[in-house]
Structure 1
Amino acid sequence: MEDSSENVYLLASKLIETSGTDAFNPALLSLINSATPCESVFAIHFHKNSRPTILLSPDSTLLTSKIMDEYLNGFYMIDPFYNAFKAGLPTGLHFIKEIAPDDFFESTYYTEHYCNRGYEEAAFVINLDNDSQIQISLTVIETPATVATRERLHAISPLVISAYRKHWQSIENTQTASQQASDIIHEQISSVFKNFGYGVLTERETELAILIIRGYSLIAIAEMLGIAHGTAKVHCKNLYSKLEINSKSELFSLFLDQISLT
């Protein structure tokens, strides 16, 4: 969907004028959808020491309240965009295929729980400081996104990022009321990762298990950890044996059981 330059300028003007008001989010949606039709758009605030906060809720049949609850109650810890944020994802426009683990699209999380299966997903990323980031996530109906669509999204990216950064300065204080509760919940969820298989798995086996859950292949894991592929396979075999499982889906089920207790 290619909008006229005149209309894009009007939408951009509206976005800037509404900064800090309730009219900002509708203006943001209008500008993004002028570049390409989206099945959903939502904004999320990531902080390294707290649970994510939804800033703009999606109006989507894909992103049901159940899926969003699952995400906020622990699945965000295995979300490619969240982990890319923790790894230092720079400000700009990023597509999920550029940042996801190599086996993510075959992982149990993606095939059974991920809300945007089969869609092209991207995010406008806005780094606020070393510990926090805002991502404006969009699910592009056009799948895969064409070169022209990517160019239009990249063209509006500086405006979206600049406008939202200014908007955040106006609304930041209203978002911190429940920060303490979110910090506590995040610490509880983080402990699931730190203690996964506690008393059964070695520290290395736990590390391997979490990377498998996040969607990395053993080849990629071996490279990340600086070990031989054969060594990674041995660790995988050992952790499966200790946990009395035989597959990635069973491993994910154990993880799901653990976060459901938080």
Structure 2
Amino acid sequence: MKDSDNDRLLAQAIQSLGTPDFAQAYASLLRIHAAFDNLIIIAYNGEKRPTVLYREFTDPIVYQPMDDEYLGSAYLLDPFYHQHRKGDTHGIIRLRDIAPDHFRRTQYYKTYYKQTTLLDEIAVFATLSDAVTITTCLGRDRSSGAPFSKKEIQTLQGHARALSVLAEKNWQDFQPEDNRSHEPAPLGDRLREVFKRQHDIKLSPRQAEVALFILRGHSSLSIGLNLGVSPQTVKVFRRQLYAKCGISSQAELFSLLMPLFARLTNEGE
């Protein structure tokens, strides 16, 4: 990358702020820092359904599951979504650095993520408010067949502040498609309610928390660290959860809960 190329594309991005041309100019600027196979810009809005603002790709398979599966409910298990839920996130974050320790063992990974052929993802985070985060996700998939290089990651990190500020400035007046005035109740509470309604199974708050951690790819050790309990206690909660649901595996838990997630995201629309 030449400094002159960076200056030229940065100037184009600045000039296009607030216009329909910004996303494409922003993508061109990002591409000289890291040669991505696909790019998608998503606005997360609290726990409500996200909005896709822009996408481009080499291989169309990468986004085939996006509209129905990811935006329908699978986003609730996405590490980038949970990074957004932490609040006030800026800069460059690589998926593998924040994914739970058993992420690649999850049914979410096997049934959704793997079919996209994604090998690596890096996101530029920009926080607009307490509720809204813009994430620009650069991906490598089967088109190139290789993850991002160390040099590309370092280059992105070196421009992290400017890239975040550009996104914040362009979308500062963004209004989410899901503009319900109220924020949904916490996911665990809503899950317990719909579980009781649909299956007549009453989960405790802790059992619902453990179920969500399992689906996101946390090991017993990781769940224990998050909840402040021992791994042995987590295993007790897991056994209780599986017994109440009449299941014996994470795959069965996924099959049971994903239809409920879809109902949760549709409620109130």
TMscore range, shorter length = 0.7 to 0.9
What is the number of equivalent residue pairs in this alignment? 254
TM normalised by structure 1 equals 0.87
The answer to whether the aligner puts 1:130 opposite 2:130 as a matched pair is yes
Percentage of pairs with the same residue: 26
Aligned to 1:86: 85
Aligned 1:108-257 pairs, distance under 5 A: 108-114=107-113, 116-140=116-140, 141=144, 143-169=146-172, 172=174, 175-176=175-176, 178-180=177-179, 187=184, 190=187, 192-195=190-193, 197-198=195-196, 199-257=201-259
Gaps of 5+ in 1: none
TM normalised by structure 2 equals 0.84
Aligned to 2:45: 47
One-letter code of the match for 2:34? T
Are the aligned partners of 2:94 and 2:122 in contact in 1 as well (CA < 8 Å)?
A: yes
SS in 2 for 1:63: helix
| C-alpha displacement of 1:116 | 4.7
Are the aligned partners of 1:42 and 1:136 in contact in 2 as well (CA < 8 Å)?
A: yes
| C-alpha displacement of 1:188 | 9.1
CA-to-aligned-CA distance 1:35-57 (integer Å, 9 cap, x gap): 12212111111121532111113
Aligned to 1:105: 104
CA-to-aligned-CA distance 1:188-234 (integer Å, 9 cap, x gap): 99465343643333222111111101111111111211112111111
Q: Distance between the aligned counterparts of 2:2 and 2:145, measured in 1?
A: 19
Are the aligned partners of 1:74 and 1:189 in contact in 2 as well (CA < 8 Å)?
A: no
Gaps of 5+ in 2: none
Q: Distance between the aligned counterparts of 2:18 and 2:229, measured in 1?
A: 50
Are the aligned partners of 2:195 and 2:260 in contact in 1 as well (CA < 8 Å)?
A: no
| C-alpha displacement of 1:17 | 0.9
Are the aligned partners of 2:47 and 2:184 in contact in 1 as well (CA < 8 Å)?
A: yes
Stretch deviating more after TM superposition (84-93 or 111-120): 111-120
The answer to whether the aligner puts 1:4 opposite 2:2 as a matched pair is yes
Aligned to 2:261: 259
One-letter code of the match for 2:52? I
